[in-house]
Amino acid sequence: MDEETIFSKIISRKMRTNILYQDDLVTAFRDIHPKAPIHIIIVTNKLIPTVNDVNTTDEIALGRMFSVAAKIAKQESISDDGYRLIINCNSHGRQEIYHLHMHLLGGRQLGPLIT
């Protein structure tokens, strides 16, 4: 990785957290400031700062993010009732950590938006 983010520290286990899933492409763990009863972060292991930085070599990792989201939603018993997946991009999209990641939210009726 070119530079270290809080997520890269979690991926490399320099920072402790309860990792729910990890393989060679993505890592998933619970958000420390949850916006819903279930709030899980799924991050690419490769440092990709924003969606704008994605290229064709990243397609497998992006697909893995979605398949891992579905797997975790089933494990967390929210797949039948539904859940939300959010990817923010840059400042107007409210991206806070510049390491591509997806929020998996569920466990209650979420309403029109999460802020």
As a whole number of angstroms, the distance between CA 69 and CA 44 comes to: 12
Is 27 within 8 Å of 10 (Cβ atoms)? yes
The candidate with the shortest Cα–Cα distance to 22, out of 10, 32, 33, is 10
Lowest mean pLDDT among 1-10, 79-88, 105-114: 1-10
User: 83 pLDDT band (50/70/90 cuts)?
Assistant: very high
pLDDT of 2 higher than 80: no
For residue 114, what pLDDT band results from cuts at 50, 70 and 90?
low
Question: Which residues share a beta bridge with 106?
Answer: 38, 83
Taking the complete model, does pTM exceed 0.85, yes or no?
yes
Residue 102 has pLDDT above 80, yes or no: yes
The DSSP-derived string for 6-38 is HHHHHHTTSS---EEEE-SSEEEEE-SS-SSSE
Please give the pLDDT value at position 115. 57
- Tell me: the pLDDT tens digits for 41-67? 999 999 999 999 999 999 999 999 999
For residue 1, the model assigns a pLDDT of 41
Active-site residues, by number, are 101
CATH 3.30.428.10 fits 6-106, yes or no: yes
Q: In this structure, what DSSP letter does residue 77 have?
A: T
